[in-house]
Amino acid sequence: MKALVTGGAGFLGSHLVERLRERGVEPVVPRSTDRDLTDPRAAEELLEEARPELAFHLAAEVGGIGANRQNPGRYWYANLLMGANVLEASRRVGVGKLVLVGTICAYPKDTPVPFREEALWDGFPEETNAPYGVAKRALLTGAQAYREQYGLNAIYLLPVNLYGPRDNFDLETSHVIPALIRKMAEAKARGEERVTLWGDGSPTREFLYVEDCAEALLLAADRYDGAEPVNLGTGEEIAIRDLAGLVAELTGFEGEIEWDTSRPGGQPRRRLDVSRAAELFGFRARTALREGLERTVRWYVGERAELQLPAAR
């Protein structure tokens, strides 16, 4: 099979590429430095050259709350254009199947918990990441429209917050788990007595281990050909305050956790209804949060020789 993975050099993409290679598939993996997918000509040239039977569109410009607040225009523009250009190029070239990856940020701010796919259009996303969420949500409409008019088999998946080895640990652009791991591991190594975190710790989040998400993408590619969006997650939530305590334990940080309530905490709650993924293509997350965090902490510390982990218990 000929396959293409946009964003294949990134966090989720690199794990998906590994899974494809295990299947004997060597996918085309364009780099953003070589292919600017916000340019429709670049997208069409890529698809023309690759001529994939199966394409995964994972390329995105994304970050945590701070990065979203600093780049609302760029995140709206880049994510909307990349997705639209890949859709159009896939239609022109005749891609057999296109897997589009959306975002949990597309859901309305006040979506009832657990988030069900039917509620996706019931309101506006949480303000701090709304431009990004709106751009990614628009791709669902595009996928459904291209299916109806052109017969393009485009499916749309909604992963919850991802984490795991090879995540982005840059404090300016990272999401909550890598930021917590880096802050606490470095604070421990420097002997600092406190770390300061945004918000008050009360918002909840759901997290999906990156290898589980890669498995879900392949299962959907194999088994799902529908027009409706599908959530990918664990169906379990944790308060940020409790998550911070768990990361402190795993990194060995024993100091004080201080909360800066002048900073935004984001959407109040996030937890998905994950029944559709189980019913339609048999996906159920395998990795418990503590296990996934232990793996992620050990990977990160292994990349940073000056950091030390607590002794195993």
Active site residues: 132
Task: Tell me which residue of 36, 37, 17, 19 sits closest to 27, measured CA to CA.
Answer: 17
Q: How far is it, in rounded angstroms, from Cα 275 to Cα 283?
A: 9
3-state class (DSSP) for residue 59: coil
Task: Give the integer Cα–Cα distance in Å for 22 and 292.
Answer: 21
Instruction: Provide the residue count of the chain.
Output: 313
**CA-to-CA dists, residue 34 to 37, 42, 92, angstroms:** 9, 9, 21
Rounded to a whole number of angstroms, the distance between the first and last alpha carbons of the chain is: 46
Q: Are 281 and 228 in contact (CB under 8 A)?
A: no
As a whole number of angstroms, the distance between CA 295 and CA 301 comes to 10
Q: Which two tokens stand for residue 207?
A: 């997290």
Report the amino acid identity of residue 253: F
H or E element at residue 76: helix 72-93
Amino acid at 80: L
CA distance 237 to 156: 23
